[in-house]
Each structure stands twice: as C-alpha cells, then as structure tokens.
Structure 1
C-alpha cells in the first residue's frame, strides 16, 4: 500500500513533531510513508469563511499531489473533514482521492486493522475529542481505543469531553469573549482529571487549550495523541 502523509499547515509550521510521530508509528508497523513536496494548505480557512472559489485551486492541487496514493493520512480531524466533506462539492473529480484520505485513527483501525501500535507512555492522560473529528468524521472511540492499548498509560475520562474547546478557527478571533468562556470551562474540566497530558487529534484545538492552561499555570501539557502512540 502506498501511503502519503498530509501534514497540514498548522503541524508543518508549529508542530512538526506530530508529522514525524505519524511517520514513526507507520514505519514501526512496517509501512513506508511518502511526503509529497507539492502539498499545500487544505483550503479549509478559505471555504469556511465564504471564499469557496479561492479554495477550488487548493483542492485541485491536493488532488494532483495525492492522486496516485492508496491512502493519505493526516494528523488533523478538521483538515480531513474539509477534504472528505467539501472537496467533492468543490470539484467532483476530487471525490476519489478525498475518499482515500484518513485521520490517523481511521487509517490504523479501519484500513490497517491495528489497535496496539507498540507504544509505551507512563503518564496520566485525558483525551479531548475535537469537534470535527467527533461530529464530521464521527471518529467515535477510535483514538481512545489506540490510547487504551498504550502500555503504562493512565488514561482518565475528561468531564464534558464532547463539549467544544472554544477555538473553531476564526470563531475564536471573531467571538473572543464567547471563545474564552468556552475555553475556561474546558480548562476547568481538564484540571479536575489531574492529568499530566491532555491529548487530542487536532493541534489547533490543543494550542487553544494549551494557551488557557498555561495562563492558569496548570501543570497539564497539550500533546497530539500521535506523539503518544510514537513513544
């Protein structure tokens, strides 16, 4: 199977360790992973703020870049949701490659049939299911199943886990007061778990949560779950 990594803008610019972690996990399982140099943004920012026409050439570039791969994996529920839900409407010809694009837990569990990736992580961890992964991709408990298989992990439930963290991309910029109030609730919930780490499938949400935790001088650090699986 030819697998390509779509690292996404946020990870490429701010969290390169997450993309490295995805590659490390898949290589540990015996799979080669390509990183096509022609990849760019998925266009979600454009499409979600009313600039659908500007998102079309971005979608076309994605289809050209990843069209020959059997599977495309991305460590971002929101970007995968953009590709799978909106690309076929923007350019119907992108539907086949969009259907072969997976969030990491989907690729591991649904395509490769792997639940235990051989990880060990001796920390107390709580998991926040991000909105796009939860509601658009319907990941369900896939990331949690992978985390439960990690050796030495102390995985604790997050109260109100399915509630938004308040980020929502440009929502946090346009509605800062509402965003901050939602974030405060999420930070309080994380604090009640006593976790060393709060994990999620999107670093954009983790950046938002991590900022709130840092301002509260919390001892909990944000970490993409792929980095736990790679440990």
Structure 2
C-alpha cells in the first residue's frame, strides 16, 4: 500500500514532532509512506468561516496532489473530516478522483485499527493518562461513542493506548464534551472558548491524570495554553507521540508577559 502522509498546517508550523512520530509509527507497521512536499492546507479554516470561494481552489489542489495514492493518513480528526465530509461541496457528484480520495482518507488511529487491523502497539508508557475525544472525531468520523447516540462504538484511540505496557487510563466525568477550541471560534468567542477549555482541563486534572492524550493537536494546543498559564499539574501529548515511544514532555515555564 502506497500511503501519503498529510500534515495539518498547525502541526507543520508548531508541532512538527507529531508529524515525525506519525511517520515513525506508520513505518513501524510496515507502511510505505510518502510525503508530498507540495501539499498545503486542506481549506478547513476558510470553510469554517464561510469563505467558500477561498476554500474551493484549496480543495481542488488537495485532490490534485493526493488522489494518486492508495490512501491518505492524517494525524487530525478535523482535517480528515473536512476532506471526507465537506469536500463534496466543491466537486461534482460523479468526480471519480475526488470520490476515490474521499473514501481513502483516514485519521491515524482509524487507519491503524480499521485498515491495518492493528490491535496492539509494542511499547511502554508508565503514566496515568486521560483521553480527550475531539468533536470532529466523534461526531463526524465516529471514532468512538458519543452521548447523543446510544450506539456502542469502539474507541480506536483508547484501544491503541491501553495496549501499551504500564499505562493507566483514568476515567473523566464528561468523556465527549467539547474543549471549546473550534478553530476560529476560539478567536471570535474567546471568553466562551476559554470557559469551555477550563471545564475540560479541570475534569482531566481531577481524574488524577498526568497526561492528556488526544488525536487532534489543535484541541491540545488550546488546552495546553490554559494549563501553562495556570500552572496546572498536567501535560498534553498527541496519540502519535505516545504510540511512537516519546518520553513525557518537560513542563515549560510561562513566558514573561503572559
């Protein structure tokens, strides 16, 4: 299988080790991974703010770059969902290149569990962890069960994390509540976004967890800022970093001026 790695903008710019960890994890499972160097944004920020005319050429460029691969894997539920669930607005219903890409674009844990049949990751992570399930992963990709649908679903991220030696998954009170990031929502509705994020963080801290793990670095970026500014006893890690064997990150001091 010739797989293309799609790296979201914010991971490329702010958290490049998440992309590297994703590559290492896929290659450890025997996947032949390509990284198209001319890849750009998937267009989600423009689409979310209603700028359809600006998102359309970005979507067409994305399909042009990635449609030749057997599969596209992305370490982000929100970007994956943009392609799978929202690109249809920019293409004809019978566009075969788009349809192939849509049906063969996967979130990282989804690809490992559903396409490769991975149920066990060799490794050790001797820490108390808690899992944040992002809204796009839950509500649009259905990567786990959610409270508004009484349908049992396997939590793909949890399945992989709990296979590691030494890990202890701590229960949180509200497993599928939004963190308040929501892309541009965090900018236009700052106070609401912060309040929602603090509710989420406090739930995780109260569980006794040392590390919050998620499949979307955008959610973790939002909550990491809230944690650091309040000096809370919590770290955040993307699931790719955990599964690829990264050590617990060092706690960083808040810069002067924050």
TM-score normalized with structure 2 length? 0.87
Q: Is the 1:156–1:195 Cα contact (8 Å) retained in structure 2?
A: yes
CA contact (8 A) 2:60 2:90 kept: no
Q: 1:163 aligns with which of 177, 187, 190?
A: 177
Is 1:4 the counterpart of 2:18 in the alignment? no
Q: Which moved more, 1:86-95 or 1:118-127?
A: 86-95
1:130 and 2:134 matched: yes
More helix by share: 1
- Partners of 2:105 and 2:79 in 1: CA distance: 10
Distance 1:200 1:158 in 2: 14
Q: Of 187, 199, 210, which aligns to 2:213?
A: 199
Conservation of the 8 A alpha-carbon contact between 1:87 and 1:95: no
Could you tell me which runs of 5 or more consecutive residues in structure 2 were left unpaired when the two chains were aligned.
145-154, 246-258
Query: Taking structure 1 as the reference length, what is the TM-score of the superposition?
Result: 0.97
Match of 1:98 in 2: 102
Give the distance between the partners of 1:119 and 1:41, measured in 2 at CA.
32
Shift of 1:59: 0.8
Distance 1:61 1:119 in 2: 38
* Cα distance in structure 1, aligned partners of 2:105 and 2:69: 10
Greater shift, 124-133 or 180-189, is seen at: 180-189
Task: Work out whether residues 106 and 139 of structure 1, in 8 Å CA contact, stay in contact via their aligned partners in 2.
Answer: yes
- Say if 2:228 is the partner of 1:214: yes
Query: Do residues 60 (structure 1) and 60 (structure 2) align?
Result: yes
Bigger shift: residues 5-14 or 213-222: 213-222
Q: How many equivalent residue pairs?
A: 231
- 2:89 is aligned to 89
Pairwise CA RMSD: 1.0
Residue 183 in structure 1 maps to residue 169 in structure 2 = no
Please tell me whether the aligned partners of residues 120 and 152 of structure 1 are also in contact (alpha carbons under 8 angstroms): yes
Q: Deviations over 1:4-42 (max 9, x none)?
A: 100110110011111111111111111121100111000
Write out aligned runs for 1:147-162 (5 A): 147-162=161-176
> For 2:114, which of 110, 116, 138 is the aligned residue?
110
Q: Any conservation in 1 of the 2:5–2:35 contact (CA below 8 Å)?
A: yes
Please state whether the residue corresponding to 2:69 is helix, strand or coil: coil
Shift in Å at residue 190 of structure 1?
Answer: 1.2
Could you tell me whether the CA contact under 8 Å between 1:202 and 1:224 is conserved in 2? yes
Please, which runs of 5 or more residues in structure 1 have no aligned partner? none
Structure 1 CA distance for aligned equivalents of residues 169 and 177 of structure 2: 19
Residues of 1 paired with 2:69 and 2:124: CA distance? Answer: 30
Deviation at 1:95, TM superposition (A): 2.4
- CA apart distance, 1:156: 1.2
